[in-house]
């Protein structure tokens, strides 16, 4: 505890300035975490995204073993994290005092966006028989696309747009092949073959 965590910014105490003047540069800087009991104020946003992204990569590596309820919860969290549910929705930011802290809009850098898209893509296109999961994953992909358009990150926009198009293809019913014109085409080919053979004679 003598040194701050690598994930936190070092906060210099008030007595650090006089110590620097006297030449005591070896004293470690201590980050003060106890008053607020909330590390979010001192963790860098980019590092937080990388940490959560690494956890999601591990989750995606074992996603085949995850229960359906876990995947449903993740899609719901993606919808909440984006803060926008439809194109005409305003950003929804819950206050910390409202008891809805876990449903707040959060910063989503590419380090967090990429593994989230992988998990949502598996929920959408993976080997599952749950239509409810596919519907929830399609909704999450649309919300992620709206968030990517808001941040104007080209990588996130392209990936989300591809995922939205795939979700639309999954929702569309695949037409059954029609063999109505096959017999007519076969008869026409047989007639042409007979004419060619008769012309050679």
- CB contact at 8 A, 146 and 87: yes
Residues 164-192 have a mean pLDDT of 70
At residue 84, the 3 state secondary structure works out as coil
Q: What is the mean pLDDT of the chain?
A: 72
- How far does CA 136 lie from the centroid of its chain? 13
Arithmetic mean of pLDDT, 169-196: 69
Q: Is the pLDDT of residue 34 over 50?
A: no
What's the sign of the alpha-carbon dihedral 18, 20, 26, 30?
positive
> Could you tell me what percent of the chain has a pLDDT over 70?
59
Angstrom CA distances, 102 to 27, 77, 106, 137, 193, stand at: 38, 8, 10, 19, 72
Residues 55, 158, 123: CA angle, nearest 5 degrees: 45
For residues 84 and 150, is the Cβ–Cβ distance under 8 A? yes
At residue 97 the predicted structure's pLDDT band, cuts being 50, 70 and 90, is: very low
The answer, yes or no, to whether residue 79 has pLDDT greater than 80, is yes
- The band of 120, judged by pLDDT with boundaries at 50, 70 and 90, is very high
pTM across the whole model: 0.55
Per-residue buried b or exposed e for 111-137, using 16+ beta carbons within 10 Å of the residue's own CB = bbbbbbbbbbbbbbeeeeeeeebbebb
Distance (Å, whole) CA 182 – CA 73: 49
pLDDT for 166 equals 83
């Amino acid at each position: 505890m003598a040194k701050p965590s690598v994930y936190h910014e070092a906060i210099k105490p008030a007595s650090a300035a006089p110590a620097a003047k006297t030449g005591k540069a070896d004293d470690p800087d201590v980050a003060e975490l106890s008053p607020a009991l909330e590390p979010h104020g001192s963790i860098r946003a980019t590092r937080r995204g990388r940490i959560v992204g690494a956890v999601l990569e591990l989750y995606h590596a074992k996603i085949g073993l995850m229960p359906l309820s876990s995947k449903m919860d993740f899609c719901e969290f993606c919808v909440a994290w984006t803060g926008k549910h439809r194109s005409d929705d305003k950003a929804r930011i819950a206050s910390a005092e409202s008891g809805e802290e876990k449903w707040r809009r959060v910063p989503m850098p590419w380090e967090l966006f990429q593994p989230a898209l992988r998990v949502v893509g598996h929920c959408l296109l993976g080997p599952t028989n749950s239509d409810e999961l596919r519907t929830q994953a399609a909704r999450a992909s649309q919300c992620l696309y709206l968030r990517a358009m808001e941040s104007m990150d080209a990588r996130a926009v392209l990936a989300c747009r591809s995922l939205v198009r795939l979700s639309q293809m999954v929702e569309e019913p695949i037409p059954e092949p029609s063999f109505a014109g096959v017999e007519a085409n076969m008869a026409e080919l047989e007639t042409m073959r007979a004419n060619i053979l008769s012309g050679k004679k």
